[in-house]
Structure 1
Amino acid sequence: MEQLNEHLTRSNIYALVGLLAATYFGNWILGYIHVHWQVRGLPKIHSGIEYFESGLRGQLPHIPFIVPVKQYTLDKPWKKYADVGCDLIALTQVTTSYPVYISSNPAVAQQISQAPMRFNKAVHDFRYRALDIFGKQIVSTSSGPEHKRHKAVVRGCFGEEVMENAWNKIVDALQIMLREEGVEDGGVLKGVRDVMVKTTLLVFGKSGFGIDIPWHIPHTNGSILPFPEALHSVEDSLAAQLLLPQWFMTYSPSSYLRRCAKAQRSLVFHIKQMIASRQAKLTAEHAALDKNEKVKPPTDLLGALVASQIDVQRDQGMEKGLSESEIVGNIFIFSIAGHETTAYNLTWALAFLALYPDVQEKLYEEVNSVTGGELPTYRDVKALPLCLATIYEALRLRDIVMTLTKVATEDTLLPYTKWDPSSPTPSTVTHHTHTIKKGSYIVTDTPAAELNPFFWTDPHKFDPTRHLGEPQGPFVGFSMGTRQCIGKRFAEVEQVAFISHFVKHFKILLIQQPGETWEMTKERMLHATQELTYTPANFDLKLEKRI
């Protein structure tokens, strides 16, 4: 009898497990069918896993239906849309119970950006949650009250004093770079990408924290790393910092990961100390002033952020400001979003200027016409439109962020365009709308949107003048709308300062390898890898000092 009961009990357990598995599998099948039904009428790319948004999407092998890398045409972003004659493609993924749409239409991206409550930021995605390792920050906040609270404080730290300081500091950093690399009077600048990363790190140390960072950062072994070393180590190990929890790195058998953990702890320690110091100093200065007087705004980002925090809390109440961890989180996002992306875009800009010397000479003429032969200063920034257009054009052709993801908060219509893919020069397009359901993901494929031939004339051509006057199409490089990159002007000022001074001092020349044609040189210099961001390859340039 006991054996019979035991057998029945075991059978019941097996039956229950089987029923649960069948129910789960059945629900999954129904969900997958429902997704296919929702995207009917659109071209599709099928995959086994959610992959298009992955920072590793360019690193994995092509596996049909599982990881269809070739269908994503990552090296030729517009090709997948050209092949199907449609600027909206549905991704049907086994691992997601909701539709994912990718769009290469910049006008649609603009429309989405203007309706942040209908198309909310996909803050639950890993890419955004990972950015919160130091604290919640403006990039990973949901549209609405939380984002407004962060923005109220953060926007206050990008005043004119900070902008002018950023200009001056990158000019100083350029001189340090030229001296340390031994090219003050011209010569070969080796490893341009790495040099740009070091240069912009110097700028961020000074304009971000008011701290001098040496060109060559020494390696130490103390329990707390010095601030320059901690900042450099965290940024240099960004993939590990974002992907792995602190406790895992701390107790890892890998000495590299343990050092990553130490760098993270050290950076947080230093930033918190600086926040406390700035708060005490600014609070004391406020207390010493009359009611209508104002404290002189700090010129570094951390000081400006703390000052803005004090102003918001004083004017709107303590609950409207940011917590200490949120201040740390926002400073961290300034670092990775401002320092690395600026370095990479300057790398691309120098590559394009070397490849297109006619544009380089036009920049030189613009700088001289504005400054009368003198060196440009911050007051000249608005008078150098071609310098700014060059920065935009480099970003258009080599988009660094790669995707902008939103999630629909309600059922809505999404416009898209179709044309005949068999025509080499399609002239007739038809306009349509597709109903997307609440919970669907909409990804703006920014590299493809910036190469869309229906918006950009001769889209693969490097032509900064397309950004002068009436724009050819909505530019998505800095995002748009209320979620536009809040440090956009800071980045523009930095890069215009760098480019205007660089072309004032030097001609930038190609270094071609033996037997290499211009096209081969271009392909080598513009090669990139898709990591957390679109990362340029290293290359050398020859600098010829202007007389």
Structure 2
Amino acid sequence: MATEAVTEAPVLTGLPVLGSMFDLKNDSLGTFLRARRDHGDVVRISAGPPGVRAHVYAVFSAEGAQQVLAGESANFRKDNAFYQEIRDSFGNGLLTSQDDDYLRQRRLVQPLFTKRRVDGYADAIAAEVATLTTEWEKAGHTTVDVLHESTRLALRAVARILFGTDVDSAVEVVERCFPGVGSYVLRRGYSPVTLPREWPTPGNRRAAALHRALYEECDRIIAARKAAGRTGTDDDLLSLLMAAESAEDGVFSATELREQVLVFLLAGHETTATSIGFALHLLARHPEAQRRAHEEVDRVLAGRAPGASDLDALPYVTRVLKEAMRLFPAAPVIGRRAVAATTIGGVAVPAGADVIVAPWVTHRHPAYWEDAERFDPDRFTPEAEAGRPRYAWFPFGGGPRACIGQHFSMLESVTALAMILQRHGFEAVDEEVPVAPAITLQAAGPARCRLVPREF
């Protein structure tokens, strides 16, 4: 049998001394798109001055993403600097833990995310969506920033499901602290040189204050819940986390509870908010797609709030969300570090190399997506999906570390989009929304839309 020829990775052209440092700093997503266009599906990108220069192997094909995340997942670990900064800020929860820690946490948490359990949160999600649309109407809003409003909605929904009655206080702290902590993580995670967090620099002191506020709020809610005792009827996630126990894995300690709560708050609202917000903005820019979504919602729901059982009856709304997640994946870049040397697509990747897969690029790859920048929900009909590689679309990651909250995110997103479309149409004020990667994809400008009230 012939063996695959192995080549060295092509190198993205950069500055003689600093490599691609400024390109990555100013437009990392555009830089990754250029790397694939000019050099192919596995590209080495170097950044930083000699002595502290970082090298990353960027993998853009669906087959390469599958190899990194699934086929050889044990060889690609969350050992890079960016994940360490997330650990230092949010703890060692499901997002960042590895090995036995991860397996133990996953076993304890998995029963909380069964389809039946998650479907039980549909009414709580619907209540938060109804509150939001009613606020718009009472305030007389004619224009809203759909990304900002979707973030507010998703945060309140996940806080309600996570904490039950302690929503308002938690939402205030998260809204105040998460942006600053996220910026701090991003800055340190991608800097070739970082000062110790303990040094009393102005940035470190500001970040420490934000961290303390987040930790204290989580600890306050957990302590109050423990003091009140479990009633047996509580089904919010915090109560279930506190009750999670097995003979093999024991229970979560107080620190572990806080870390899981922080990860659920982070991953549970920012990713879903991105999907809902960009879906609304894309529909505002594409009236025919919006008309089809309105018709489906009106026909299926006839004015009532959707339940979990309605998701399968809303295929076009679901396709709209999937296409929004293709164009604007909440995790545009996913990092790993190779343990042992390997090859990806015939290109040598050395042991210890930092490796990224990039949904932002793979979701635009011309081998899988014709006219990739065009918004077309019908890319996600069952027939079209069956004709593409599994990892041509992977907004939730993949393999053994795939997002445990996939069904929760889709339930919340479809429910929210359907209910909002019942009561409103949208016309885009801002045609284009600049974006930039942080811990998750962030809008770098407004996504304003005019509200058009509907009768239902």
TM-score, normalisation: structure 2 = 0.84
Q: Does the Cα contact within 8 Å between 1:271 and 1:328 map onto a contact in 2?
A: no
Q: Secondary structure at the match of 2:396?
A: coil
1:230 partner letter: V
1:316 partner letter: E
Q: Secondary structure at the match of 1:543?
A: strand
**Structure 1 residue 262: Cα displacement:** 4.7
Task: State how far apart, in whole Å, the 1-side matches of 2:135 and 2:110 are.
Answer: 35
**Structure 1 residue 408: Cα displacement:** 2.2
1:150 partner letter: Q
1:453 alignment partner, one of 366, 383, 398: 366
Q: C-alpha offsets along residues 387-419 of structure 1, whole Å, 9 cap, x if unaligned?
A: 22211211111122221122222232211xxxx
Q: C-alpha offsets along residues 329-371 of structure 1, whole Å, 9 cap, x if unaligned?
A: 1110111111122222221111101011111121122223333
Q: What residue in structure 1 maps to residue 30 of structure 2? A: 75
**Structure 1 residue 443: Cα displacement:** 0.9
Q: What residue in structure 1 maps to residue 118 of structure 2? A: 163
Q: Does the Cα contact within 8 Å between 1:132 and 1:329 map onto a contact in 2?
A: no
1:327 partner letter: L
Q: Does the Cα contact within 8 Å between 1:183 and 1:189 map onto a contact in 2?
A: no
Q: Does the Cα contact within 8 Å between 1:376 and 1:501 map onto a contact in 2?
A: yes
Equivalences for residues 26-175 of structure 1 within 5 A = 41-45=8-12, 66-69=21-24, 74-75=29-30, 77-84=32-39, 86-93=40-47, 94=50, 100-142=56-98, 144-160=99-115, 162-175=117-130
Instruction: Call closer, same or farther: CA 1:132–1:164 in 2, change over 3 Å.
Output: farther
Q: Does the Cα contact within 8 Å between 1:411 and 1:436 map onto a contact in 2?
A: yes
Equivalences for residues 383-402 of structure 1 within 5 A = 383-402=313-332
Task: State how far apart, in whole Å, the 2-side matches of 1:108 and 1:331 are.
Answer: 32
Instruction: Call closer, same or farther: CA 1:129–1:112 in 2, change over 3 Å.
Output: same
Instruction: Call closer, same or farther: CA 1:83–1:412 in 2, change over 3 Å.
Output: closer
Q: C-alpha offsets along residues 20-62 of structure 1, whole Å, 9 cap, x if unaligned?
A: xxxxxxxxxxxxxxxxxxx96432026689xxxxxxxxxxxx9
Q: Does the Cα contact within 8 Å between 2:155 and 2:171 map onto a contact in 1?
A: no
TM-score, normalisation: structure 1 = 0.71
Instruction: Give the length in aligned residue pairs.
Output: 434
Instruction: Call closer, same or farther: CA 1:63–1:522 in 2, change over 3 Å.
Output: farther
Q: What residue in structure 1 maps to residue 174 of structure 2? A: 231
1:541 partner letter: C
Unaligned 5+ runs, structure 2: 1-5, 189-194
Q: Does the Cα contact within 8 Å between 2:160 and 2:166 map onto a contact in 1?
A: yes
Task: State how far apart, in whole Å, the 2-side matches of 1:452 and 1:504 are.
Answer: 34
Q: Does the Cα contact within 8 Å between 2:147 and 2:277 map onto a contact in 1?
A: yes
Q: Secondary structure at the match of 1:281?
A: coil
Q: Report whether the alignment pairs 1:381 with 2:324.
A: no
Instruction: Call closer, same or farther: CA 1:266–1:147 in 2, change over 3 Å.
Output: closer
**Structure 1 residue 119: Cα displacement:** 2.6
Q: What residue in structure 2 maps to residue 200 of structure 1? A: 154
1:533 alignment partner, one of 433, 437, 440: 440
Task: State how far apart, in whole Å, the 1-side matches of 2:217 and 2:382 are.
Answer: 44
| Percent of matched pairs sharing the same residue | 21
Q: Secondary structure at the match of 1:152?
A: helix
Q: Secondary structure at the match of 2:379?
A: helix
Q: Secondary structure at the match of 2:167?
A: coil
**Structure 1 residue 261: Cα displacement:** 4.9
2:230 alignment partner, one of 281, 292, 307: 281
2:406 partner letter: K
**Structure 1 residue 116: Cα displacement:** 4.8
Instruction: Call closer, same or farther: CA 1:232–1:273 in 2, change over 3 Å.
Output: farther
Q: Does the Cα contact within 8 Å between 1:90 and 1:101 map onto a contact in 2?
A: yes
Task: State how far apart, in whole Å, the 2-side matches of 1:182 and 1:370 are.
Answer: 24
Equivalences for residues 179-218 of structure 1 within 5 A = 179-182=134-137, 187-211=141-165, 213-214=167-168
Q: Secondary structure at the match of 1:67?
A: helix
Q: Does the Cα contact within 8 Å between 2:118 and 2:408 map onto a contact in 1?
A: yes
Task: State how far apart, in whole Å, the 2-side matches of 1:71 and 1:267 are.
Answer: 35
**Structure 1 residue 136: Cα displacement:** 1.4
Q: What residue in structure 1 maps to residue 274 of structure 2? A: 344
Q: C-alpha offsets along residues 409-447 of structure 1, whole Å, 9 cap, x if unaligned?
A: 2232211xxxxxxxxxxxxxxxxx123232222210221
Q: What residue in structure 1 maps to residue 242 of structure 2? A: 306
Task: State how far apart, in whole Å, the 1-side matches of 2:301 and 2:124 are.
Answer: 19
Instruction: Call closer, same or farther: CA 1:241–1:411 in 2, change over 3 Å.
Output: closer
Q: Does the Cα contact within 8 Å between 1:192 and 1:541 map onto a contact in 2?
A: yes
Instruction: Call closer, same or farther: CA 1:117–1:43 in 2, change over 3 Å.
Output: closer
Q: Does the Cα contact within 8 Å between 1:414 and 1:434 map onto a contact in 2?
A: yes
Q: Does the Cα contact within 8 Å between 1:202 and 1:212 map onto a contact in 2?
A: no
Equivalences for residues 227-306 of structure 1 within 5 A = 227-239=170-182, 242=185, 260-274=210-224, 276-277=226-227, 280-281=229-230, 298-306=234-242
Worse-superposed segment, 527-536 or 73-82: 73-82
RMSD: 3.3
1:404 alignment partner, one of 306, 329, 334: 334
**Structure 1 residue 76: Cα displacement:** 6.9
Instruction: Call closer, same or farther: CA 1:245–1:211 in 2, change over 3 Å.
Output: farther
Q: Does the Cα contact within 8 Å between 1:246 and 1:261 map onto a contact in 2?
A: no
Unaligned 5+ runs, structure 1: 1-38, 50-61, 215-225, 286-295, 416-432, 512-520
Q: What residue in structure 2 maps to residue 316 of structure 1? A: 248
Q: Secondary structure at the match of 1:407?
A: strand
2:133 partner letter: L
2:59 partner letter: S
Task: State how far apart, in whole Å, the 1-side matches of 2:130 and 2:427 are.
Answer: 19
Q: C-alpha offsets along residues 461-499 of structure 1, whole Å, 9 cap, x if unaligned?
A: 111121220413421211011111111111111100000
Q: Secondary structure at the match of 2:131?
A: helix
2:370 partner letter: T
Q: Does the Cα contact within 8 Å between 1:188 and 1:540 map onto a contact in 2?
A: no
